[in-house]
Chain A
Amino acid sequence: MEMLRRMLGLLAGDPQADRAVPPTGFTARLTLMSAAAMAFLAVFALAMSLATGRLADRWSEELARTSTLRISAPADQMQAQTAAAVEVLRTTPGVAEARPLTAEEQRALLEPWFGPDLPVETLPIPQLIEIIEEGEGYDPAGLRARLQAEVPGAILDDHGRWREPLVQAAGRLRLLAWVSIGLIALTTAAMITLAANAALAANAQVIRVMRLVGARDVYIARAFVRRFTLRALVGAAVGTVLGLLAVLALPSTDVAGGFLTGLGFQGWHWLWPLTIPPLAALVSFFATRQAALRSLGEQS
């Protein structure tokens, strides 16, 4: 809180004090540009982390709550086995609903590979039963044992095998996105430190004169910190706006389809990028302060 108040006071500033340090076009442009570029990248990293987060949640949610029972049996036993399986499932705790897919649905599943007009009925393909779970879900081992006894042709696919790696991958992507955001913050701090050091070195004589007339270290540091913080704020704001425009201009979910489901912000997540400029200002504040106080200590 105290820090925040100091920062706000700093930005409100003392224009008189600020004039003591001459404007430096070069470091000003450098700071503005790098802050803008880093904010632009941060918008994408943020979008990525939010999107992969959503993806991981949805996948684990959907996959955890549905599974499939596959019945492979001679054509004449198919009906009976399907009915038996549905009966078993109906009496299994944790199963909300068990529904054999219709011929049309099965055809739709196969269509991408075999094209339309496939005579599903005449082919010896397995019957699929969709299971929707409730509560904690069912116990797969127990269900398998019961099915083995009563419906020999049934194979339970609880998605567990391939659910894990998918959710893991999404989680990993999300982690990478956060690591990127961290690296972007570090890089911003490094660049601002370099620019601040350049400005401090270029103004060694100004600093000397300010000292001679009785300026204390914090006062001199403040003139630099204020500048760099403002520049980082403005640059990051520009970069954030550009990044958001670029995200908006991404092809819509339907067009991009499947994997890239909505790399973008949804609902109140649009507020997240708004934190980028203030965070950039914060990073710049500490980076410049650190650089200034250290260099003033050395120049004594």
Chain B
Amino acid sequence: MIELDNVAYSYGGGELFSSVTLSLPPGSFHFLTGPSGAGKTTLLKLCYGELTATAGQVRLFGQDTRSLGRDDIAQLRRRIGVVHQDCQFLDHLPVAENIALPLTVAGRDGAPEDLEDLLGWVGLRRQAGQLPPELSGGERQRAALARAVIMSPDVILADEPTGNVDWDMSQRLLTLLIELNRMGKTVLIATHDLSLIRAAKSEVEARVLRLKDRRIQAAGANL
């Protein structure tokens, strides 16, 4: 699904990471951890084509991102659901329309019942008509997760999806993601929350990757 081959990313301030090789096979479940500022969000941006690697090759569904135009990337993003760390909503549209936005821009009409179900699934039925800035942090993250899965994507990339929610809610969101993985979706969750990873390990066979000191490594059993 997504493959990174010896990838490096540098910006004006220097090299953030290098020699990152990683593969997300279909149906796999991965966690990405590491200290704040290690480059987890940046790595995810490489995975959905918002940034371009400064070295190495990033392949999305077998295609080298460097050979893709903007419209090709847009097309691929319909198969990759992303929960952004900062959510990224259109603040002038109600939550329900924000969640349905991927369908809208793809020119598809989702069934209204499906949207209703999805809203119920993330516990946002009541807030459907509100504007994103009026929601609490946790509600926004649930809305972001709902938007990420509405296209029934092959891959779900979630950047700190439980950053602003309490333990119960984070368990529920995790259960949702595990559910999606059981339906065959490829899942990658970036998080600092080690207890979340521990909770997941009992439910699903998850690999944990750690981004640290500019390198990526598989984390051992001792989280």
A contact set with B: CB distance below 8 Å: 14, 16-17, 19-20, 22, 206, 208-217, 219, 296, 300
Docked Cα-Cα span, A213 to B101, in Å, equals: 7
Docked Cα-Cα span, A234 to B102, in Å, equals: 31
A215 nearest in chain B by CB position: B105
Instruction: List 6 contacting pairs A-B, 8 Å CB cutoff, sorted by A.
Output: A19-B97, A212-B48, A212-B77, A214-B75, A214-B105, A216-B75
A17-B104, A216-B74 given; 14 more Cβ-contact pairs under 8 Å: A20-B90, A20-B101, A209-B88, A209-B90, A212-B82, A213-B77, A213-B101, A213-B147, A214-B74, A214-B75, A214-B78, A214-B102, A216-B71, A300-B70
B40 near A: Cβ within 8 Å? no
Which residues on A sit within 8 Å (CB–CB) of B97?
19
Supposing A212-B82, A213-B101, A214-B74 touch, asked if A20 and B88 sit within 8 A by C-beta, the answer is no
B140 near A: Cβ within 8 Å? no
A208 nearest in chain B by CB position: B88
Is B71's CB under 8 angstroms from A217's CB?
yes
Docked Cα-Cα span, A216 to B73, in Å, equals: 9
Docked Cα-Cα span, A123 to B13, in Å, equals: 104
Measured CB to CB, the closest approach of chain B to A153, in angstroms, equals: 87
Q: What 0/1 pattern do residues 30 to 68 of B give for CB contact below 8 A with A?
A: 000000000000000000101000000000000000000
Is A213's CB under 8 angstroms from B105's CB?
yes
B201 near A: Cβ within 8 Å? no
B contact set with A: CB distance below 8 Å: 48, 50, 70-71, 74-75, 77-78, 82, 84, 88-90, 92-93, 97, 101-102, 104-107, 147, 151
Which residues on A sit within 8 Å (CB–CB) of B89?
209
Docked Cα-Cα span, A296 to B50, in Å, equals: 14
Supposing A19-B97, A300-B70 touch, asked if A214 and B106 sit within 8 A by C-beta, the answer is yes
Is B105's CB under 8 angstroms from A20's CB?
yes
Which residues on B sit within 8 Å (CB–CB) of A209?
88-90, 101
Which residues on A sit within 8 Å (CB–CB) of B102?
213-214
Which residues on B sit within 8 Å (CB–CB) of A212?
48, 50, 77, 82, 84, 88
Measured CB to CB, the closest approach of chain A to B161, in angstroms, equals: 16
Docked Cα-Cα span, A247 to B78, in Å, equals: 55
Which residues on B sit within 8 Å (CB–CB) of A211?
70, 74, 77
Docked Cα-Cα span, A103 to B70, in Å, equals: 87
Which residues on B sit within 8 Å (CB–CB) of A19?
93, 97
Measured CB to CB, the closest approach of chain A to B79, in angstroms, equals: 9
A218 nearest in chain B by CB position: B71
Measured CB to CB, the closest approach of chain B to A13, in angstroms, equals: 13
Supposing A212-B77, A219-B105 touch, asked if A20 and B70 sit within 8 A by C-beta, the answer is no
A223 nearest in chain B by CB position: B105
Measured CB to CB, the closest approach of chain B to A258, in angstroms, equals: 60
Is A214's CB under 8 angstroms from B88's CB?
no
Is A16's CB under 8 angstroms from B92's CB?
no
Which residues on B sit within 8 Å (CB–CB) of A17?
104-105
Is A20's CB under 8 angstroms from B104's CB?
yes
Docked Cα-Cα span, A19 to B74, in Å, equals: 20
Is B90's CB under 8 angstroms from A206's CB?
yes
Measured CB to CB, the closest approach of chain B to A66, in angstroms, equals: 69
Which residues on B sit within 8 Å (CB–CB) of A20?
90, 93, 101, 104-105
Docked Cα-Cα span, A213 to B48, in Å, equals: 10
Docked Cα-Cα span, A239 to B178, in Å, equals: 61
Which residues on B sit within 8 Å (CB–CB) of A206?
90
Which residues on A sit within 8 Å (CB–CB) of B48?
212
Docked Cα-Cα span, A219 to B105, in Å, equals: 7
Docked Cα-Cα span, A213 to B102, in Å, equals: 5
Which residues on A sit within 8 Å (CB–CB) of B105?
17, 20, 210, 213-216, 219
A300 nearest in chain B by CB position: B70
Which residues on B sit within 8 Å (CB–CB) of A300?
70
Docked Cα-Cα span, A9 to B5, in Å, equals: 45
Docked Cα-Cα span, A211 to B73, in Å, equals: 9
Which residues on B sit within 8 Å (CB–CB) of A215?
74, 105
Measured CB to CB, the closest approach of chain B to A12, in angstroms, equals: 14
B78 nearest in chain A by CB position: A214
Which residues on A sit within 8 Å (CB–CB) of B70?
211, 216-217, 296, 300
Measured CB to CB, the closest approach of chain B to A211, in angstroms, equals: 6
A20 nearest in chain B by CB position: B90
Which residues on B sit within 8 Å (CB–CB) of A296?
70
Measured CB to CB, the closest approach of chain B to A9, in angstroms, equals: 13
Which residues on A sit within 8 Å (CB–CB) of B107?
14, 219
Measured CB to CB, the closest approach of chain B to A27, in angstroms, equals: 15
Measured CB to CB, the closest approach of chain A to B115, in angstroms, equals: 13
